Amino acid sequence: MRSFQSIAVSIAFSALMAASATCACAEDAPLGVRLVDQMNALYGVHPGVRANHAKGAVFEGMFTPAQGADALSSAGPFYGSAYEAAQTLLQAIKSSPVNNGKISRADVISHLASDTFSTIFGSVKFNAKGDVQGGGIYVYQAKGNAMVVLKQVSG
């Protein structure tokens, strides 16, 4: 189940970060607190378990594009991660059997826990805890229809 939750949290996190970058919030709570509160509201509070993946890290940063960069791409900094999460979930759904016109959540979770998925950033497989195996921080560059790793920072 944690595999499915990891994908769902990735999608929610990407959406939350994109939304926070485009709107000003009047709340006094720091962004990290608001993000964790929103994840807990979506998925419930699980005592002893972090709201967001194994390391529980939430980062805030500022991105200033170069002059004229908007002419090259309109993709935001989290679009790739959200797309990868969606690709993974859709492949797990596609691999699950259809019984009486329905796909069971248990089958999707089983595929998320056991399959290897092909994504725009390469292969994705989850470990027993539901974390991405061999995950890390990477710097990518779009070249044609491929994402090319320029640098691996960790993992």
pLDDT higher than threshold 90 for residue 67: no
- The more confident residue out of 32 and 142 is 142
The three state secondary structure string of 35-60 is HHHHHHHHHCCCCCCCCCCCCCCCCC
- The more confident residue out of 28 and 105 is 105
The pLDDT assigned to 125 comes to 92
The pLDDT assigned to 97 comes to 94
The pLDDT assigned to 27 comes to 59
pLDDT higher than threshold 80 for residue 83: yes
- The more confident residue out of 14 and 151 is 151
pLDDT higher than threshold 70 for residue 39: yes
pLDDT higher than threshold 70 for residue 99: yes
Q: Measured between alpha carbons, how far is 18 from 13 in angstroms, rounded to an integer? A: 8
In sequence order, the 6+-apart residues with CB closer than 8 A to the CB of 75 are none
Domain range for 130 is 2-154
Total tally of structural domains belonging to the chain: 1
- The more confident residue out of 49 and 77 is 49
Contact (Cβ atoms closer than 8 angstroms) between residue 151 and residue 138? yes
Contact (Cβ atoms closer than 8 angstroms) between residue 96 and residue 103? yes
pLDDT higher than threshold 50 for residue 31: yes
Q: Measured between alpha carbons, how far is 80 from 142 in angstroms, rounded to an integer? A: 10
Global pTM? 0.47
- The more confident residue out of 85 and 74 is 85
Measuring CA to CA, which residue among 151, 83, 73, 75 is closest to residue 121? Answer: 83
Confidence grade of residue 57 (pLDDT, cut at 50, 70, 90): low
